[in-house]
Amino acid sequence: MTVAGLKDATAIVGIGQTAFAKRLPEDEKTLACRAVLAALDDAGIAPGEVDGLASYTMEETDEVELAKAVGFGDLTFFSKVPYGGGGSCATVAHLAGAIASGQASVGVAWRSRKRGSGPRPWTNTTVQLPTPAQWTRPFGLLRPADEIAMLARRYMHEYGATRDHLFNVALACRNRANQNPAAVMYERPLTREMYMTSRWISEPLCLFDNCLETDGALACVLVSKERARDCAKKPVYVHSVAQGLPAQHHGMVNYWNDDPLTGPAWTAARQLWKHADFTADDVDVAQIYDAFTALVPLSLEGYGFCGRGEGGAFTEQGALEIGGRLPLNTSGGGLSEAYVHGFNLINEGVKQLRGTSTAQVPGAATCLVTAGEGVPTSALLLRS
């Protein structure tokens, strides 16, 4: 079977989530169980029918614990994708491949995190330092924000992108969160003045260029297109999938190849579009991984919505707002709904194509969802 054979062969038929908050009382395993059961209930599928699982690293709830707790059947497929937030969309990709090739029939992907009340991974230097981080951490390049700010500064210098462009990204996400009662930033508007006068985290990135710190969990359920027709909800088809790890790439500190500003998005995009029936021009709505605002212009270029160096300018004139050229992160994204390592972007893509988003794009029939840029990444094209 070729990768093209995955085209529309599977569908997401269930989505579930917990509440999102800075602090939730339940532990990660319990939150994971709640999200998974909610997704199965949404699909109208019993837990005992699940035989495929996919997750990504930095997930504390492992397969056996989840399977025991919620009562899955015998599992015949399970995978875990590396590189943290770069793996979100790959979970769905792996399940789609497993189901299309007969390795499983009902697949579940999930993410549970206590990032709001839990520890910061970057502070664990005993884990971080005996890695290539030895070349960066001792010099005070300590956090993901610092690593991405380094690319952002160069990007702004090379192409004339401005803080106003980054603000456009933050604002679009916040405006959508203001429409979403489940969002952490619901009823908390953002102004340009708030943005421009906020404290620095790592210059040139300020507070509002950084994602939220959130507790919460999400899950989704995949089945074949044939089975999807019999499920309770309108199927959302997995049209094309891709992973991307460019030649000579080096984690989030992608500084050591010929062209650090063409990151994993470019590699994933080539694979994604190769097997799709439509192009970037035909995408109705996009959920682009936004751990930091600066990742969005890079991704807009990588996935082909504009040319090299044009990502900043693309955000002008309301392009990312509802009614604009490419409505962005319509649940509020990682910047303003919840930062759950990008899984909320997948579920929001499904809501858009079901027509049930709190910031619905009228008639949305195609959606791009992406995973973390800067790290080895993944992406999905969904269609109704």
Partner 1 sequence: MLTPVTDTDGAPFWEYAAQGELRVQACADCGELRFPPRPCCPHCQSFAAEWRLTSGRGRVWSYVVPHPPLLPDYAAQAPYNVVMVELEETPRIRLVGNLVSRAGASLDSLDPERVRIGARVRVVFPEGGLPQWVLA
* Interface with partner 1 (CB under 8 A): 120, 123, 125, 129-130, 132, 134-143, 145-146, 149-151, 153-154, 157, 199-204, 248, 250, 253, 255-258
**Residue closer to partner 1 (CB basis): 209 or 321:** 209
Report the alpha-carbon distance of residue 147 to residue 199 in Å, rounded: 18
Cross-strand partners of 78: 53
Rounded to 5°, angle at Cα 37 from 35 and 42:
95
CB of 292 to partner 1, least distance (A): 12
Please state, in angstroms and rounded to a whole number, the distance separating the CA atoms of residues 23 and 348: 22
Residues facing residue 382 across a β-bridge: 238, 367
Give the helix ranges, DSSP H, for 17-135. 28-43, 63-70, 88-100, 125-128
Min. distance of Cβ 150 from partner 1 in angstroms? Answer: 5
Give 135 or 316: the residue with its C-beta nearer to partner 1: 135
Q: Is 186 a residue of the active site?
A: no
In 3-state terms, what secondary structure has residue 12? strand
Q: Is 84 left (phi over 0), alpha (psi -120 to 50) or beta?
A: left
Q: Which one, 140 or 181, has the nearer CB to partner 1?
A: 140
Nearer to partner 1, 158 or 230 (CB): 158
- Between residues 200 and 279, which has the closer beta carbon with respect to partner 1? 200
Of the candidates 56, 237, 303, 339, the residue annotated as catalytic is 339
Pick the catalytic residue: 155, 237, 289, 303? 289
Whether the CB-CB separation of 374 and 147 falls below 8 Å is answered with yes
Q: Least separation, in Å, of the C-beta of 199 and partner 1?
A: 7
CA dihedral 32, 34, 36, 40 (to 10 degrees): 180
Length of the chain: 384
- Block residue for tokens 């063409």: 262
Q: C-beta of 80: minimal distance to partner 1 in Å?
A: 25
State both tokens at 269: 């995009």
3-state secondary structure of 75: coil
Q: How far is the CB of 308 from partner 1 (least distance, A)?
A: 17
Q: Phi and psi for 144 in degrees, rounded to 5?
A: -50, -35
Closest contact distance (angstroms) between CB of 250 and partner 1 is 7
Burial 222-241 (b: 16+ CB within 10 A, else e): bbbbebbeebebebbbbbbb
Which CB atom, from 198 or from 360, has the smaller least distance to partner 1? 198
> Nearest distance from residue 132's CB to partner 1, in Å?
5
CA 239 from centroid of its chain's CA atoms: 17
Structure tokens at 49: 């029918």
Of 23 and 274, which has the nearer Cβ to partner 1?
A: 23
Give 112's strand partners.
Answer: 217
**Cα Rg of the chain (Å, integer):** 19
236, 382 contact by CB (below 8 A): yes
By C-beta, is 255 or 278 nearer to partner 1? Answer: 255
Catalytic-residue membership of 237? no
Kindly list the distances between the CA atom of residue 257 and the CA atoms of 114, 248, 310, 378, in Å, as whole numbers in the listed order. Answer: 34, 6, 22, 20
Shortest CB 73 distance to partner 1, Å: 43
Catalytically active residues, by annotation: 289, 339
